[in-house]
Chains A and B, each alone.
Chain A
Amino acid sequence: MNIDLILFIILALVAIATALGMLLSRNAVYSALFLVLNFATVAVFYLLLGAPFIAMAQITVYAGAIMVLFLFVIMLLGAEQLAPSKVIPAQKWVAGGLAFILVAETVYLLTVRGVPAGNILQPAESANSLGFLQQMGMMLFNEYLLPFEITSILLLVAMVGAIVLTKQEKGGQK
């Protein structure tokens, strides 16, 4: 029982607890805050796996930017308290079936197919080294330049789309 495993179990419990708290909380703000905690736990997982850059990016992007916007919208709309929502017919059965399929797939992958030994909880060699960031940048801008640029254009289109959709029509009022 090494210390990594103990840390992993404690963190996993925290992660599951915060995820459950997010789902079960009746107050949207509490849900959002639980989700932030969950993201923070996942970031610590990345640190344990020896990938500090991904951990920091996780916190900056998810906890720092996206969830702040979520909280902002929740508070702005005053939608903290959920009204008892309408349940889709047979929602329980569909959800249960899908969950069963997911669990079955995971069990299949872990047991029958087998995982390559030492792949879980083993830090990737390259991610740990000092040159990792440079390597990643090189890969992104040499080998994967086209996908990278396409992604950026996609994001730009999404931004313009959001502005167009929310812009108020001025015609006719003047």
Chain B
Amino acid sequence: MTWALFWEWFIKSLILVFTLLIGFGYLTYYERRFLARIQVRVGPNRAGPYGLMQWMADAVKLIFKEELTPSRVYKLVFFFAPVVTMVPSIVIAAVIPWGTSFQLGGRTINLYLADINVGVIYLMSIASIAVYGIVMAGWASNNKYAMMGGLRSSAQMISYELTLGLMFVVAILMGNSMSLVGIVEAQKDMWFVMLQPVGYLLFFIATLAEVNRHPFDMPEAEQELTAGYHTEYSGMKFALFFMAEYQKMIVVSMIGATLFLGGYREFWFLKDTFLSVDRAWFLGPFYLFAKVFILLGIMIWVRASWPRIRYDRLMSFGWKILIPVSLAVVFITAAGILLAEMYSSLWMWMVPVLSLVVGLIAVVVIYRDLRRKAYARA
């Protein structure tokens, strides 16, 4: 390993970490401003021009806040829980590509940190350890509310991870690769969201549950659990939890964009124009940023519009609706690819049609069930 390679990796890692950290700051600002806009308020606009420095003021406040450690907590686990929550949310971004490559001083510099051939499984494994921090925090706080929050979140994350994993399978099948760069390049001619719209919808729902966002933010349902797993945390330790949640939002948006929305690539119908990343490498990060920005906006929009789902319904929705529909979607995708290889590529268009039919059936089933329950109550 030469020094040039070392510095390349070092600089790329620094860029990645700082993008996520600063992205966290501006995501809070974005969320507050956008929520305010939806609710016809103004939102934070005092610190700096348009309130752009608001996140810095918040950070300073949190740093100087008194840090309380309750006397009966399990000190070691209590201390490590925020760290264990924070670290996966950053390292998971290592395999996500943000562009193609460019030449600098005779070296080809790739715009991604690592392109490993088990990229998707890496995502899966890091996502599956992310739950530990929350569980540890809930247990170590020695507080019933925190404990309930930790338990709820672990049950919820395990349940929705199944759907998430099955949707990874769909992306792997369509991309014919487990490397994320391979999957993005496979979307040159068509984004996977066009081929599998229901698959992307399921993925989006599962990621909302995975990062504990509305309407699945059970672990911190304040009217039931005060603040859930971070009830006993204050100061910088609380800030780490907060940070991890927002970074996870950014990261899952990046993953969703990479797997289904073409990642750093342009619209498929622009692939031969000057807007293509094959002609202009520097457009890659911008495309990815634009997609992530829109996805985050949708997440905030969901938060502003929908009430929280009840806990038992959350679990039965995950197990009784999402998993059967995801299995059907995986089957349809696999069958479509097989038939397209065997006969003609027209079969590929059966995939979106059939999966939309399955999705509609699921919606009808939910609707009838809810209506039946409403009659039963009346």
> What residues make up the interface of A, taking CB atoms closer than 8 Å to B?
29-30, 33, 36, 52-53, 56-57, 59-60, 63-65, 68-69, 71-72, 75-76, 130, 133
Q: Does B178 contact A (CB under 8 A)?
A: yes
Contact A59 B139 (CB under 8 A): no
CB distance from B148 to the nearest CB of A (A): 10
Contact A56 B125 (CB under 8 A): yes
Q: Report chain A residues within 8 Å CB of B124.
A: 56, 60, 64
Q: Does B39 contact A (CB under 8 A)?
A: no
Partner of B117, one of A33, A57, A64, A133: A133
Q: Does B36 contact A (CB under 8 A)?
A: no
Partner of B129, one of A64, A69, A75: A64
Contact B117 A56 (CB under 8 A): no
Q: Does B136 contact A (CB under 8 A)?
A: yes
Which of B151-159, B209-217, B345-353 has 4 or more CB atoms under 8 Å from chain A? B151-159
16 more contacts with CB within 8 A, not counting A33-B77, A60-B124, are A36-B132, A52-B117, A56-B122, A56-B124, A57-B125, A64-B124, A64-B125, A64-B131, A64-B161, A65-B128, A68-B131, A68-B158, A69-B158, A71-B154, A75-B135, A75-B138
Per the bound structure, the CA–CA distance linking A76 and B151 in Å amounts to 8
Partner of B128, one of A30, A53, A64, A76: A64
Per the bound structure, the CA–CA distance linking A71 and B132 in Å amounts to 9
Q: Report chain B residues within 8 Å CB of A60.
A: 121, 124-125, 128
Per the bound structure, the CA–CA distance linking A56 and B127 in Å amounts to 11
Per the bound structure, the CA–CA distance linking A165 and B154 in Å amounts to 23
Per the bound structure, the CA–CA distance linking A56 and B150 in Å amounts to 25
Closest to A67 in B: B132
Per the bound structure, the CA–CA distance linking A82 and B77 in Å amounts to 18
Contact B139 A53 (CB under 8 A): no
Per the bound structure, the CA–CA distance linking A57 and B128 in Å amounts to 11
Contact B178 A29 (CB under 8 A): no
- A-B contacts, 27 of them at CB < 8 A, read A29-B77, A29-B139, A30-B77, A36-B132, A52-B117, A52-B118, A53-B118, A56-B118, A56-B122, A56-B124, A56-B125, A57-B121, A57-B125, A59-B129, A60-B121, A60-B128, A65-B158, A65-B161, A68-B131, A68-B135, A71-B135, A72-B135, A72-B151, A72-B154, A72-B155, A76-B151, A133-B118
Q: Report chain A residues within 8 Å CB of B116.
A: 52
Contact A68 B118 (CB under 8 A): no
Per the bound structure, the CA–CA distance linking A71 and B139 in Å amounts to 10
Closest to A130 in B: B117
Q: Report chain A residues within 8 Å CB of B136.
A: 33
Q: Does B251 contact A (CB under 8 A)?
A: no
Closest to B124 in A: A60
Q: Report chain A residues within 8 Å CB of B129.
A: 59, 63-64
CB distance from A156 to the nearest CB of B (A): 13
Binary per-residue interface labels of chain B (104-132) against chain A in the complex, 1 for a CB within 8 Å, 0 otherwise:
00000000000011100110110111011
Residue among B117, B147, B157, B178 with max Cβ neighbours from chain A (10 Å): B117
With A53-B118, A133-B117 as known contacts, state yes or no: A75 contacts B128, CB within 8 Å. Answer: no
CB distance from B79 to the nearest CB of A (A): 13
Q: Report chain B residues within 8 Å CB of A71.
A: 132, 135, 139, 154
Per the bound structure, the CA–CA distance linking A63 and B129 in Å amounts to 7
Closest to A72 in B: B154
